[in-house]
Structure 1
Amino acid sequence: MDETDWLLLDELQRHAGLSNQVLAERAHISAPTCLRRIRRLREAGLIAAQVALLNEDAIASLQGHGLTAIAEVSLDHQGDEHLSTFEARAVADDAVMQCYRVTPGPDFILMIRVRDMPGYQALAQRLFTQDANVRNVKVFFSVQRGKFETRIPLNR
């Protein structure tokens, strides 16, 4: 990894849709070299995916308001098998945007996005109520998002 690789990773985090030509210009390298470097970074597992981030507010205005919730989930039994079982169910649910196994405190923090309160109730039934191992759930509903960032700060 050299400075050019770090620069390419940073540019891709900011603007994944840039053409190879533009990326090459920004990195001061040729387009074929840029393509080879990006392919190598992808093969090394440093680039997991290239996606489009949608504007939640714009989507909500088309589909309904939408609810964002942060849930703290504590399990009765914290053995690795129990934790893994709950985690697998949570990550398989489309409404769960992010899932973190944490310590100390609750066992999991879930970032949830649903269309409306009935959508949340359905999710709660699927993930929290039907699992006898879920001891406690504390949910916070977002009223405003101050910041959302997907870019990882790269210390070069």
Structure 2
Amino acid sequence: MSDQNTPTLLDELDKRILQQLQSDASLSNQALAERVHASAPTCLRRVKRLIDEGVIARQVAILSPEKIGLGLTAIVEITLDNQASEQLVAFEKWVGQEPAVQQCYRVSPGPDFVLVIQVADMAAYHVLAHRLFAGQANVRNVRSFFSILRSKFETRLAV
């Protein structure tokens, strides 16, 4: 396995494989090989290498939040009182344990963190925000934005 921060060199076949898998990770190896114009054994070896090198981090099903009763998306800015390294890591660990927190970014400049949270409704957000932020002595400021329309949601990266 290579270093996480070192980019992996990708040739054109790797890129075609990644483009296909980002659109549909459930493709059989044979179907993938046909779509990228390679033999099945070659395709299997390439996918295994891409997994081993961490290029493919994981393969998942992407759910429709509305269909499972999680129709409210909140984008939340958090500013801490104390930005010491151990305080930042502690906060990341704290919110990282919460399933409703879909994404957590440490950012600069501005707030210390930006979170993307998916919950059922405003009442569920209020309960979550109170539990995650109000009880934390190190949280200075919470600024929440609520999505009224998701015009784009993409998981694919340009390769």
Q: TM-score scaled by structure 1?
A: 0.91
Paired residues for 1:82-121 under 5 Å: 82-121=87-126
How far the C-alpha of 1:44 sits from its partner, in A, is: 0.8
Q: Give aligned-pair identity as a percent.
A: 57
SS in 2 for 1:71: strand
- What CA deviation, in whole Å up to 9, does each residue of 1:105-136 have, x standing for no partner? 00000000111222112211221111100000
For this pair of structures, how many residues does the alignment match? 150
Match of 1:51 among 40, 56, 60: 60
- Equivalence for 2:46: 37
CA distance in 2, matches of 1:73, 1:7: 39
5+ unaligned residues in a row in structure 2: which ranges?
1-9
CA distance in 2, matches of 1:6, 1:31: 16
Q: State the Cα RMSD in Å.
A: 1.2
Higher alpha-carbon deviation: 103-112 or 18-27: 18-27
Match of 1:137 among 119, 139, 142: 142
SS in 2 for 1:100: strand
Amino acid at match of 1:72: E
Amino acid at match of 2:97: A
How far the C-alpha of 1:8 sits from its partner, in A, is: 0.5
Answering whether residue 151 of structure 2 is matched by residue 146 of structure 1, we say: yes
- What CA deviation, in whole Å up to 9, does each residue of 1:44-77 have, x standing for no partner? 1111110111122333xxx3x6311000000001
- Equivalence for 1:9: 18
Q: TM-score scaled by structure 2?
A: 0.90
CA distance in 1, matches of 2:11, 2:158: 16
Which runs of structure 1 show a deviation greater than 4 angstroms over 4 or more consecutive aligned residues?
none
SS in 2 for 1:97: strand
